[in-house]
């Protein structure tokens, strides 16, 4: 089934009121949540449009039916390429974060890790998860991922924290399920999601076994509170507004206060040895998703910078062309890293196809390093008007309009109306609450920069480079490079023939 956005709203507005904003308990129809809901609406709308079939939709590996790609488990490199392309396409339409990739990355991580836990421990998590996922796909569910724990003192492991609720943990095991408590933070989209996927956030030691827990629950389940911070560009939802102003986002602190999780929704319980594996499966898949959304974000910034250059009538000046080329470099190198990550990915024992970790991490690291630079380029090209522009009402008020109409025109080929539209857009892309959100998400989303360094130090074959040095400098006579990164692409081997044909087109 592919839900319509109206069906999504109907399901959402029926949910219990466990969302809190600014000290008030609010319904999910609160106007401050609407800009985020508008983003999700696009993902439901596009899945039903025939021209997006096969990109926004996929064939379920469980039922063989057409489903929304956000709930699909990637089966081959083509699926990963399609996911990446879908994220970039939709991010461009909403002018930024598409918010659904976390849920997609969580289901991939859970499908893979539950299988591996079962193989090592003889448990039956995988079957349980796949049964859950079948229903989720059939209902066209939307899930967010709650991985980041509030973490308390950063230097202490979960079991060493004075406040045990700093990390979500198992309080009690019963025959029919488990009881969990703790606090997750910075959880995007949860205030308008159907489901929450909860995963551990870090590697765990044996003492931390209570903190090794993964499960899924409806976002309004008893005992869950969502303390939510919406970010949006306009006080009122205005359907007539230009596209960029319709969209926004919300992040929440998610409180689990002695919450009962039925057994059929528990996918890890105290298998502490798999804490790191599950955390990294999510993080690496999410870093691959960034190779879709960050290029989309660079496209938005590049578009704003080009309009600012035109409005300033400096679009042909050489230093502007040089600055604009930086956006091309940022967007397409990140995108290329995602393509390489898909092509050199691996088939896991669960059947899920997983992106290559090295390419996913170098791509994500590049975008994190460049994010402030990209905003800086826009600032340099636009000048100071992004933060000093009078309010829009002044451009329409009788007493000020005649001055401001002349003031706003810098390029004589542009009318006052178009010039104002450009500068409002530049202001909102470059100097609004959403800009700050994107800058900080660009650095920390998917894990702080140090996490990419750690991932690369774990997986990158540095010794192989040293052996190369020894060979080239004459210390060693031979050099075995048969296992060097990239010599064995999975592309040709694991791609289904139909998909290969599709890819050739």
Footprint on this chain of ligand FAD (rule: CB under 6 A): 102, 144-148, 151, 154-155, 186-188, 251, 437, 440-441, 444-445, 447-448, 450
Q: Rank residues 430 and 445 by Cβ distance to ligand FAD and give the closer one.
A: 445
- Min dist. Cβ of residue 371 to ligand FAD (A): 11
Q: CA 435, CA 422: separation in Å to the nearest integer?
A: 16
Q: CA 424, CA 491: separation in Å to the nearest integer?
A: 45
Q: What share of the chain is helix, strand, coil (3-state, %, to 5)?
A: 55, 15, 30
DSSP 37-60: HHHHHHHHHHHTSGGGTTTTEEE-
- Min dist. Cβ of residue 444 to ligand FAD (A): 4
Q: Rank residues 177 and 442 by Cβ distance to ligand FAD and give the closer one.
A: 442
Q: Rank residues 58 and 146 by Cβ distance to ligand FAD and give the closer one.
A: 146
Q: CA 192, CA 15: separation in Å to the nearest integer?
A: 10
Q: Rank residues 77 and 368 by Cβ distance to ligand FAD and give the closer one.
A: 368
Q: Rank residues 251 and 310 by Cβ distance to ligand FAD and give the closer one.
A: 251
- Min dist. Cβ of residue 207 to ligand FAD (A): 16
Burial class from Cβ neighbours inside 10 Å (0-12, 13-18, 19+) for residue 72 reads buried
- Min dist. Cβ of residue 151 to ligand FAD (A): 6
Q: How many residues would you count in the chain?
A: 505
Q: Rank residues 18 and 326 by Cβ distance to ligand FAD and give the closer one.
A: 18
The tokens describing 80, both together, are 């990963």
Q: How far is CA 383 from the centre of its chain?
A: 31
- Bridge partners (DSSP) of residue 34 are none
Residue 83 and residue 105 in contact, taking contact as beta carbons nearer than 8 Å: no
- Min dist. Cβ of residue 249 to ligand FAD (A): 8
Q: Rank residues 418 and 454 by Cβ distance to ligand FAD and give the closer one.
A: 454
The helix/strand/coil state of 185 is strand
- Min dist. Cβ of residue 259 to ligand FAD (A): 17
């Amino acid at each position: 089934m592919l839900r319509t956005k109206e069906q999504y709203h109907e399901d959402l507005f029926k949910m219990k009121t466990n969302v809190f904003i600014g000290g008030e308990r609010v319904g999910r129809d609160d106007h401050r949540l609407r800009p985020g809901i508008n983003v999700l609406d696009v993902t439901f709308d596009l899945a039903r449009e025939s021209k997006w079939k096969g990109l926004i939709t996929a064939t379920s590996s469980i039922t063989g039916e057409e489903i929304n790609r956000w709930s699909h488990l990637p089966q081959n490199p083509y699926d990963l390429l399609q996911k990446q392309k879908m994220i970039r396409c939709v991010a461009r339409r909403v002018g930024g974060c598409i918010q659904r990739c976390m849920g997609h990355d969580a289901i991939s991580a859970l499908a893979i890790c539950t299988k591996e836990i079962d193989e090592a421990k003889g448990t039956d998590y995988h079957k349980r998860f796949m049964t859950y996922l079948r229903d989720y796909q059939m209902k066209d569910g939307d899930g967010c991922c709650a991985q980041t724990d509030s973490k308390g003192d950063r230097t202490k492991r979960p079991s060493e924290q004075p406040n045990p609720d700093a990390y979500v943990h198992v309080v009690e095991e019963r025959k029919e399920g488990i009881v969990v408590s703790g606090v997750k933070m910075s959880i995007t989209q949860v205030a308008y999601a159907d489901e929450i996927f909860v995963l551990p956030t870090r590697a765990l030691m044996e003492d931390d076994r209570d903190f090794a827990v993964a499960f899924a629950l409806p976002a309004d389940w008893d005992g869950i509170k969502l303390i939510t911070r919406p970010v949006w560009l306009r006080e009122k939802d205005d359907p007539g507004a230009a596209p960029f102003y319709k969209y926004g986002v919300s992040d929440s602190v998610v409180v689990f206060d002695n919450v009962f999780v039925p057994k059929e929704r528990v996918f890890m319980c105290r298998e502490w040895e798999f804490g790191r594996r599950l955390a990294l499966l999510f993080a690496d898949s999410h870093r691959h998703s960034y190779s879709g959304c960050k290029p989309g974000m660079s496209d938005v910034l590049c578009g704003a910078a080009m309009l600012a250059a035109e409005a300033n009538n400096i679009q042909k000046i050489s230093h502007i062309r040089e600055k604009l080329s930086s956006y091309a470099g940022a967007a397409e190198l990140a995108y290329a890293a995602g393509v390489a990550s898909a092509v050199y990915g691996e088939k896991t024992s669960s059947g899920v196809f997983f992106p290559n970790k090295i390419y996913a991490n170098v791509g994500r690291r590049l975008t994190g390093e460049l994010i402030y630079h990209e905003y800086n380029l826009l600032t340099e090209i636009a000048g100071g008007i992004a933060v000093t522009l009078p309010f829009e009402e002044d451009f329409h008020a009788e007493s000020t309009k005649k001055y401001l109409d002349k003031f706003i025109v810098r390029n004589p080929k542009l009318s006052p109306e178009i010039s104002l539209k450009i500068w409002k857009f530049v202001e909102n892309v470059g100097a609004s609450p959403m800009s700050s959100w994107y800058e900080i998400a660009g650095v920390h989303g998917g894990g702080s920069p140090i996490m990419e360094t750690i991932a690369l130090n774990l997986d990158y074959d540095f010794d192989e480079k040293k052996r190369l040095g020894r060979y080239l400098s004459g210390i060693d006579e031979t050099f075995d490079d048969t296992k060097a990164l990239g010599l064995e692409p999975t592309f040709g081997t694991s791609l289904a023939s139909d998909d290969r044909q599709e890819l050739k087109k």
